[in-house]
């Protein structure tokens, strides 16, 4: 673990083995943190906060630029380690590292931008302004599918705002986080950036319930987000929750088939479908449905499974067997209820080890099936036809989640109807799963609270104070006695 600028083995001798999902080989071990370790990390963060919050914004900006520069200097090392512990192919790990580096640079500059606003006074002689202040110690709980990118989306704005952080990485992918701590964050003042490795119950819960943690930033499942909300309700902590998704894509009748097919394959199969914004429901206009299904199956069948370190690999392994088993259950239930398997739906027999699963396409699905309602988080593409655009929008909205949604169309009238009518935090038109540093990311409905990226993402890590100053002073005519 990394607490107060030092590597530590923690308060007990228990450890967690970190496994390569492509080979099932053990990459290393990390301590299994407990409440005592969380307490030590939070105390370190609280001590550091007293000075870090008053550090000039320009100095905090320079510190974040140094973090970015140090990651960039060891870029290839991070890419390899990320692929080893998470499984995604090298090009996807490379992209994640680029986003991580640039996120620290982006918030370094945004942190210089403002501290608050001067607002019009109610009376002459008054001065009114707002101050945007940090919360204090922020608990950042980061998932395994993008362990560095989603860390940066939390840590960079938190630090730029003057908070200190305690990071609890996933127990499946902590190695890159620890590498970042010791190589890139070592120049930050002691206690500003802390990492405690461990399981959710043993380390995550003590973090979110610690009385000196005033804000919790979490990315993960709806169930865990709901538990965090219950555990923290009595303390009225600030919660930033990016939860599950069941993102839809609509294929309009005017599309270029080849462009749409390749777009959909990327949106559904990136990181083996293990993305919160993966396209997990597809609605194709009925006039295109047969041809679209056939050509999509042909294209997906050409994609190559393999170890992420192999330059020929398009799709890597899933992270662990229990996640693969969930995908199999969704597919099996759908088929037993009338869905038709076009391709895939099985574990490839060419790999003796590793958590691989063939990309899968399903048709004859409906909204009664779990595979069209619950997050599958795997390489599965279920397709449904629709008759008219009103039906397409209704089908997209017929889900408790509202993280993102995509439309493939060049018809401006359909595009406008789509982004106005669909209930989702991000709408992609002809370019799915593309983020923008300045564009806020987050969900509607059951997909969470708050936003990441952009000014909105920065403001999540600041609380607003209003200052009312009567410069003239004196007795007011509305004071007692009446």
* Cβ 417 vs Cβ 389: under 8 Å: yes
* Cβ 185 vs Cβ 151: under 8 Å: no
Catalytic-role residue among 202, 276, 280, 375? 276
Long-range contacts of 65-69 (CB under 8 A, 24+ apart): 65/104, 65/105, 65/108, 66/184, 66/187, 67/104, 67/184, 67/185, 67/187, 67/188, 68/101, 68/102, 68/104, 68/105, 68/108, 68/184
Catalytic-role residue among 85, 171, 202, 242? 242
**Residue 469 has which token pair?**
């100053």
Q: Tally helices (H) and strands (E) across the chain.
A: 14, 22
**Per residue in 135-158, is it b (16+ CB within 10 Å) or e — as a string?**
bbbbbbbbbbbbbbbbbbbbbbbb
CA-to-CA distance for 317 and 308, rounded, in angstroms?
8
**Residue 218 has which token pair?**
């979490």
Residue 185 is among the residues annotated as catalytic for this protein: no
* Cβ 356 vs Cβ 327: under 8 Å: no
* Cβ 169 vs Cβ 151: under 8 Å: yes
Residue 140 is among the residues annotated as catalytic for this protein: no
Cα separation values, 152 from 213, 219, 432, Å? 19, 12, 21
**Residue 17 has which token pair?**
């083995």
* Cβ 457 vs Cβ 156: under 8 Å: no
Catalytic residues: 242, 276
């Amino acid at each position: 673990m990394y607490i107060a600028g030092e590597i530590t083995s923690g308060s007990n001798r228990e450890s967690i083995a970190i496994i390569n999902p492509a080979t099932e080989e053990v990459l290393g071990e990390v301590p299994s943190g407990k409440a005592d370790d969380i307490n030590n990390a939070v105390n370190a963060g609280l001590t550091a906060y007293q000075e870090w919050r008053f550090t000039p914004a320009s100095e905090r900006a320079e510190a974040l630029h140094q973090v970015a520069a140090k990651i960039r200097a060891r870029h290839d090392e991070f890419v390899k380690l990320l692929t080893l512990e998470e499984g995604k192919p090298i090009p996807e790990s490379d992209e994640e590292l680029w986003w991580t580096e640039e996120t620290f640079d982006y918030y370094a500059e945004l942190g210089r931008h403002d501290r608050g606003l001067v607002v019009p006074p109610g009376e002459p002689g008054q001065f009114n302004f707002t101050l945007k202040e940090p919360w204090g110690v922020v608990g950042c709980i980061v998932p395994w599918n993008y362990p560095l990118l989603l860390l940066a989306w939390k840590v960079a704005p938190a630090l730029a705002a003057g908070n200190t952080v305690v990071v609890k990485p996933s127990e499946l992918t902590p190695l890159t986080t620890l590498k970042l701590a010791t190589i890139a964050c070592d120049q930050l003042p002691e206690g500003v950036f802390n990492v405690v490795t461990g399981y959710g119950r043993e380390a995550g819960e003590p973090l979110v319930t610690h009385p000196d943690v005033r804000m919790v930033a979490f990315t993960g499942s709806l169930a865990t987000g709901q538990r965090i909300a219950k555990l923290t309700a009595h303390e009225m902590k600030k919660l930033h929750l990016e939860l599950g998704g069941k993102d839809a894509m609509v294929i309009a009748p005017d599309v270029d088939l080849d462009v749409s097919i390749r777009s959909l394959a990327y949106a559904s199969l990136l990181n083996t479908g293990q993305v919160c914004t993966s396209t997990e429901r597809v609605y194709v206009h009925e006039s295109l449905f047969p041809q679209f299904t056939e050509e999509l199956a042909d294209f997906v069948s050409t994609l190559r499974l393999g170890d992420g370190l192999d330059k020929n690999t398009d799709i890597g392994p899933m992270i662990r067997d229990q996640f693969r088993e969930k995908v199999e259950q969704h597919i099996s239930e759908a088929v037993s209820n009338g869905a038709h398997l076009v391709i895939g739906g099985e574990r490839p027999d060419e790999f003796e080890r590793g958590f691989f699963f063939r990309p899968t396409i399903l048709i004859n699905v409906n909204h009664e099936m779990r595979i069209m309602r619950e997050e599958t988080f795997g390489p599965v593409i279920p397709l449904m036809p629709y008759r008219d655009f009103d039906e397409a929008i209704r089908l997209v909205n017929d889900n408790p989640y509202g993280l993102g949604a995509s439309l493939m169309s060049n018809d401006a009238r359909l595009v406008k109807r789509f982004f106005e009518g669909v209930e989702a935090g991000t709408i992609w038109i002809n370019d799915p799963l593309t983020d923008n540093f300045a564009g806020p990311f987050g969900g509607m409905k059951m997909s969470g609270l708050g936003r990441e990226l952009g000014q909105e993402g920065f403001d999540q890590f600041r609380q607003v104070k209003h200052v009312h100053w009567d410069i003239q002073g004196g007795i007011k005519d509305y004071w007692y006695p009446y």
